[in-house]
Structure 1
């Protein structure tokens, strides 16, 4: 079976506009959540988000800027960093090699900014004033299409959309594409920009968001005082590469992608099934796909949303899947510092997980001060930890009952 390495990382998010800044701030336990000052939230009790702070007009010329939605621009910026990090100029590759480079990127919502903007144009100025770029700007698959165009990638290319599991599915499909021989390299990950008044209002109406006014304290996974998740936005793009190809060119290998598991609760469109059986099966499938057992797992990057039911159910799922080993595994939530990036969350969390495998450090879970009795595992509270991470799991649970678990680790 062909093996898969991670050779390039790129991200922008509430903590930083590159991997180095993001990782250093994650290890320091810093929060990127801040008060929202760019949209009108006067009638909404939620006032904070983990919004990426980046001047997009500095990255794109005016004609291109008008044709792209922010979620696509986020992914393009992250893809440039990931390609540089991997040491690959895709445009310089021969055509026959680029035909074996895929693009699989996830998004949960797609071009919401463009939808809201052009709906106002339709209402206020009429149908003739709606932009001819509207549809190609807002369609979810624009993110993979535009990244493929930017880098000249001619292989398999598509977008996955499964709410908060979107980029988890994208990366799972990237693993399978290389394993099967369909591709040698896949540019993969996820991107999301849904921090709008409409989205905040919708999640608030569903009672999913934290109403804690303190940006530093609102996202508190596994804590007894948690009251909902904090919305975030950003992107993460990774270069997956066939392992022997990567070794032959002397690439830096952050981690090997070893396994993938995907299930559904088939229970409720938003609520997870309380027994944790769905995500537990995803964890078990990822381990089976990787050819390892529970005792081989040292770290889990949790979905860890800071919602009442999710955190307790994910804890239950980890116990079901790992048995006694669950008490010995370090677990942390990236969302405690970034907020919840929806369709991009799995990707930014796999970046963090890959860096944990590569550096032997795991970032803490921020704001875990009063542990919930139902969340009684080792969530690395307060401070980063140095430890050997042989193998790690990264979990994603999405609306629709979608569950994804990815297993990565040190290559033999």
Structure 2
């Protein structure tokens, strides 16, 4: 059976860089950081003092107030980004096409804020004061569920939970649904709202977060003095469509998605496999799936978390996969500006990959001040680069040894 071609026709995001695509993209390519002092929770309780928070997000700009109150923050973010993406794609969902339009939105931890709040209610006042909406607000699949209800999409409805690879895995899984002919369009990506007391406690205890209290330099992927990631929040959603379906309705096409690779490290619950061995296999899988040669990849949006092991091993993995081309290819970590959006990272970074192709601009990596001999690739330091971008590879690597790689290319 011949594989269907799949294109990207709509984009939507709420992020630490802005509450829409245009603001987010403009801040990204101008090297603006979305990292600031931690305000969502009491920073005095934790050694990590900074975060990449959304600014001035009001769910009532996107949905009814009563509906918003029945959603955890992560679902509100997904709703906002999805509605913007559907509008951007000018996709009209009708009774006729609804069964062929699906939703696949990932989240690493779901409604953690709701869980913590309702547990406090239970401790203080017993089970009768726990919200009847507690369970449907908390479970990670509810973002996909609520979006499908809001837009009337009746096709496959799913949620991939693979820690920090959730968004990328969801996009890859949605891509394959269309490619094999089971849907004509998919609303897909990732969402996360992890800025809560217990998330900060857990990540601080395991020393995964940066304890650098300077918001300007705390997120510094590939820098020799990196000391951990900066937690962020938000959502990134793409509209994927089968090519003929998109052309028939005259859709604007940003790029084509052509490759997906997914592997497991089978090594450790949090640490990446030595030399990024699992990432090597995921990248090779995705490139093979795409039908491209490694030398055709113009730019790579790296996972680039600003943690000591990830950045070293990911750089090693890139060199293993690309050989000499690793030094000719642009590689950047947009987490230097957005922070790490956990399960939403793959969604927003897929958007950045698509925009790099569409706009001919490669986003920079900011905050590389001290070179690391283990990280010696072209990380596009500080200043965005204008050039023709033919194909982009995007990596997402998650706790549990989950590795996901996506490949996008210029639509021809």
Q: TM-score range, shorter-chain basis?
A: over 0.9
Q: Distance in 1 between matches of 2:69 and 2:20?
A: 24
The question of whether the paired residues in 1 share the 8 Å contact of 2:59 and 2:65 is answered with no
Q: Find the partner of 1:40 among 42, 48, 60.
A: 42
- Counterpart Cα distance in 2 of 1:62 and 1:302: 38
- Asked if the contact 1:232–1:340 (Cα under 8 Å) also holds between the matched residues in 2, the reply is yes
Q: Is 1:184 equivalent to 2:184 in the alignment?
A: yes
SS at match of 1:276: helix
SS of equivalent residue, structure 1 residue 300: strand
User: 1:239 aligned to 2:234?
Assistant: no
Report the equivalent of 1:5. 7
| SS of residue in 2 equivalent to 1:269 | coil
What SS class does the counterpart of residue 52 from structure 1 fall into?
A: coil
CA distance in 1, matches of 2:34, 2:370: 21
- Structure 1 residue 396: deviation in Å? 0.4
Distance in 2 (alpha carbons) for counterparts of 1:334 and 1:275? 22
Correspondence 1:132 to 2:125: no
Aligned mates of 2:153, 2:28 — CA distance in 1: 32
Q: Name the stretch that deviates more: 58-67 or 307-316.
A: 58-67
Q: Which residue of 1 aligns with 2:223?
A: 223
Match of 1:76 among 76, 79, 97: 79
Are 1:14 and 2:16 an aligned pair?
yes
Is 1:102–1:157's contact at 8 Å kept on the other side of the alignment? Answer: yes
TM-score by length of 1: 0.98
Contact 2:257 2:409 in 1 (8 A): yes
Q: Distance in 2 between matches of 1:38 and 1:143?
A: 21
SS in structure 1 opposite 2:43?
Answer: coil
Tell me the alpha carbon deviations over residues 364-393 of structure 1, each in whole angstroms, 9 at most, x when there is no partner.
Answer: 001012121100100000100011111110
Contact 2:62/2:79 (CA < 8 Å) preserved in 1? no
What residue number does 2:339 align with? Answer: 339
Conserved? CA contact 2:12–2:237, under 8 Å: yes
Measured in 1, the distance between the counterparts of 2:126 and 2:27 equals 46
Whole-Å separation in 2 of the counterparts to 1:320 and 1:26? 29
Deviations 1:102-161 (A, max 9, x none): 100000000001100100000011111111111111111101100000000000011110
1:198 offset after TM fit, Å?
1.3
Q: CA deviation at 1:2?
A: 0.6
SS at match of 2:18: coil
2:409 counterpart of 1:409: yes
1:318 aligns with: 318
Separation (CA, whole Å) in 2 of partners of 1:383 and 1:66: 41
Count of aligned positions: 409
Matched, 1:375 2:352: no
Question: Matches of 1:60 and 1:181 in 2, distance apart?
Answer: 32
Paired residue for 1:389?
389
User: Per the alignment, in what secondary structure is the counterpart of residue 322 of structure 1?
Assistant: helix
Q: CA deviation at 1:58?
A: 4.5
Name the stretch that deviates more: 19-28 or 41-50: 41-50
Tell me the distance in 2 between the aligned counterparts of 1:32 and 1:267. Answer: 33
Cα deviation 1:197-226 (Å, max 9, x = unaligned): 211111011011001111111000000011
How many Å separate the matches in 1 of 2:387 and 2:279?
26
CA–CA distance in 2 between the matches of 1:273 and 1:296? 27
Return the offset for 1:403. Answer: 0.4
CA distance in 1, matches of 2:402, 2:22: 31
TM-score of the two chains, using structure 2 as the length reference? 0.98
Provide the aligned C-alpha RMSD in A. 0.9
Q: Quote the Cα distance in structure 2 between the aligned partners of 1:361 and 1:229.
A: 25
The equivalent of 1:358 in structure 2 is: 358
47-56 or 118-127, larger mean C-alpha shift: 47-56
Select the residue among 76, 85, 90 that pairs with 1:87. 90
Query: Does the 8 A contact of 1:108 with 1:164 survive in 2?
Result: yes
For residues 304-338 of structure 1, the C-alpha deviation after alignment (integer angstroms, 9 at most, x for no partner) is 00000000100011111111111110011110001
Could you report, residue by residue, the CA deviation over 1:265-290 in whole angstroms, capped at 9, with x for unpaired residues? 10000000112211011000001000
Matched, 1:50 2:52: yes
Supply the distance in 2 between the matched residues of 1:342 and 1:368 (Cα, whole angstroms). 22
SS at 1:128 equivalent? helix
The answer to whether the 8 A contact 2:395-2:405 is kept is yes
What runs of 5+ residues in structure 2 fail to find an aligned partner?
none
